[in-house]
Amino acid sequence: MLRVAIVGARGFGRFHAQWYARLGCQVIAFVSSSAKTLKQNSEALRQVVPNFQGRGYDSLEQMLEMEKPDAVSICSPPHLHLDQVFLCLRHGVHVMCEKPLVWLGAAEGGEALCQAKRLVRTVEETKRIFAINTQYAAAWTYLADLFPSIGKSDQISLTIQARLKPQPSSPLDLWVDLGPHPLSLLFRIFPQLVNPPDRLEAEAVGQSLSLRFPVVPDGGPLVTLTVGRVPEPLERSLSWDGKKVFFEAHRDETGYFQTRLKWNGQEKIVEDLMQTSIRRFVSAVLGSGKVLCDHREALQQMTWLVGVVQKGVIS
C-alpha cells in the first residue's frame, strides 16, 4: 500500500487526499502552514478520507524524517512549491505538485524559470517520479477518440473559468493560476507549441483574460485561450469548426466526482480528470505506466507562463 502525505490540506489538498484514499493509498500525514491550523486541517481531511488517522506537522522536514512517506502531494501556495519539492526529492520521496510549478512574481520570472530547469535536472538525477497536476490534459484521450479532426481546424478556442475569489484577480493572476490547465490540453492538440509565439495578442475584460496566437509563425490554426473568474455557472470548454465540448462536474451514485463531456445534445461520463492525474501518478510510483504531466511538461508550462509575461502583453 502506497503511503502518502499532503502538504496544504484544506484547499486542493483535500481532493488529492480523497483520491489517494479512493485509489487504495494510505494517507499517513499532512503538513500545515502553522501549528494553529493543525486541528482544522485534520478535520478537513476526516471529511474526505474514511477513518483518517494521519498525523499533522507544521514542518515538512520533520514530517519527512518521522513518517518516511513514499509520496507527497504539494498543495501549498505557489511561491513555496519548489523549495518543498526539492526537500522531498532529497529525502527520496516521489512528488505530485499542484500548478503552477512555481511563481515568485512577474519581476522574478527568469529566476522561476531557472528553478524549473533545476527541477528537471534534480528529478532525473534522483530518479524519483514527479508530476504536475494539470488534469485537463487527461481529456485528450477522450477528445482525440471522439473528435479526430480537432487538430486540423483553422481556429480553436479553450475556455477555463473558476469561481470568484474574495479579492478580484488581475490578468496576471488569472494567467498564472489558471493558464496551466488549458496549456496542458493545448500541448496535446498541438505538440509543436514548445515556446510562446512572437505574434501574441491579449485582451482583459473584468476578471477574464483572452490570449490569441497562431500555432506556427507563418499562420496555421489560430488559438484563443480564455481564463477567468466569474459567478457560477462556470464554463470549461473546447470549441472548433462550429463544435463545442463542455467539461462539467458530475457525481456518481456514491457521491464521487466524475467528468461529463457534453456536445450537441450528447454526453459521455468519464473518470474525474483529477482522479486520472493522481491515479497515473500512483501507478507510476508503483512501477506501472507514466504520469499524466511530468517534470518536462512542468518546465514547458513555466516557459509559457513566464514567456507570455515577459512579452509585456499582460500585467
- 37-48 pLDDT, tens digit each: 899 999 999 999
**Domain match, 209 and 93 both:** no
Per the structure block, which three cell numbers stand in for 154? Answer: 483553422
Spatial separation of the C-alpha atoms in residues 208 and 226, rounded to whole Å: 7
The whole domain housing 52 covers 3-133
**Domain match, 115 and 203 both:** no
- The CATH number of whichever domain residue 108 belongs to comes to 3.40.50.720
**Domain match, 75 and 16 both:** yes
What's the total number of domains in the chain? Answer: 2
Its pTM stands at 0.96
Write the Ramachandran bin of 242: left for phi over 0, alpha for psi from -120 to 50, otherwise beta.
left
The answer to whether the CB of 133 falls within 8 A of the CB of 119 is: no
Q: Residue 157: pLDDT above 80? A: yes
Per the structure block, which three cell numbers stand in for 238? Answer: 473546447
**Domain match, 23 and 108 both:** yes
- The CATH number of whichever domain residue 152 belongs to comes to 3.30.360.10
**Domain match, 60 and 162 both:** no
- In DSSP terms, 174 is beta-bridged to none
pLDDT digits (tens, 9 = 90+) for 92-142: 999 999 999 999 999 999 999 999 999 999 999 999 999 999 999 999 999
Whether residue 307 is contained in a domain is answered as: no
Spatial separation of the C-alpha atoms in residues 126 and 114, rounded to whole Å: 18
Q: What single string gives the DSSP state of each residue in 135-159? A: GGGGHHHHHHHH-TTGGG-SEEEEE
**Domain match, 15 and 127 both:** yes
**Domain match, 101 and 7 both:** yes
What average pLDDT score do residues 273-286 get? Answer: 98
48: closest CA among 17, 76, 24, 4? 17
Spatial separation of the C-alpha atoms in residues 69 and 57, rounded to whole Å: 13
Write the Ramachandran bin of 14: left for phi over 0, alpha for psi from -120 to 50, otherwise beta.
alpha
Per the structure block, which three cell numbers stand in for 50? Answer: 474514511
Q: Mean pLDDT in the chain? A: 95
Show which of 103, 133, 163 is a domain's final residue: 133
Angle at 302 between CA 142 and CA 259, to 5 degrees: 25
**Domain match, 149 and 128 both:** no
Whether residue 292 is contained in a domain is answered as: no
**Residue 174, phi then psi, degrees to nearest 5:** -60, -45
The answer to whether the CB of 19 falls within 8 A of the CB of 279 is: yes
Whether residue 143 is contained in a domain is answered as: yes
Angle at 104 between CA 98 and CA 110, to 5 degrees: 110
**Domain match, 23 and 112 both:** yes
**Domain match, 140 and 267 both:** yes
Q: Residue 256: pLDDT above 90? A: no
Length of the chain: 315
Spatial separation of the C-alpha atoms in residues 70 and 12, rounded to whole Å: 20
98: closest CA among 76, 120, 119? 76
Going from the C-alpha of 172 to that of each of 103, 105, 114, 207, the distances in angstroms are 11, 9, 20, 10
**Domain match, 101 and 159 both:** no
**Domain match, 27 and 118 both:** yes
Task: Grade residue 315 by pLDDT with cuts at 50, 70 and 90.
Answer: confident
Whether residue 257 is contained in a domain is answered as: yes
pLDDT digits (tens, 9 = 90+) for 214-238: 998 766 799 999 999 999 999 999 9
Q: Alpha helix locations (H) across the chain? A: 12-22, 38-46, 60-67, 81-90, 109-126, 139-146, 171-178, 180-189, 273-285, 295-310
Per the structure block, which three cell numbers stand in for 220? Answer: 496555421
Spatial separation of the C-alpha atoms in residues 305 and 104, rounded to whole Å: 12
Whether residue 196 is contained in a domain is answered as: yes
Whether residue 281 is contained in a domain is answered as: no
Write the Ramachandran bin of 147: left for phi over 0, alpha for psi from -120 to 50, otherwise beta.
beta
Whether residue 279 is contained in a domain is answered as: no
What's the confidence (pLDDT) of residue 11? Answer: 86
163: closest CA among 246, 235, 230? 230
Show which of 133, 153, 179 is a domain's final residue: 133
Show which of 112, 133, 154 is a domain's final residue: 133
Whether residue 291 is contained in a domain is answered as: no
83: CB partners within 8 A, 6+ apart: none
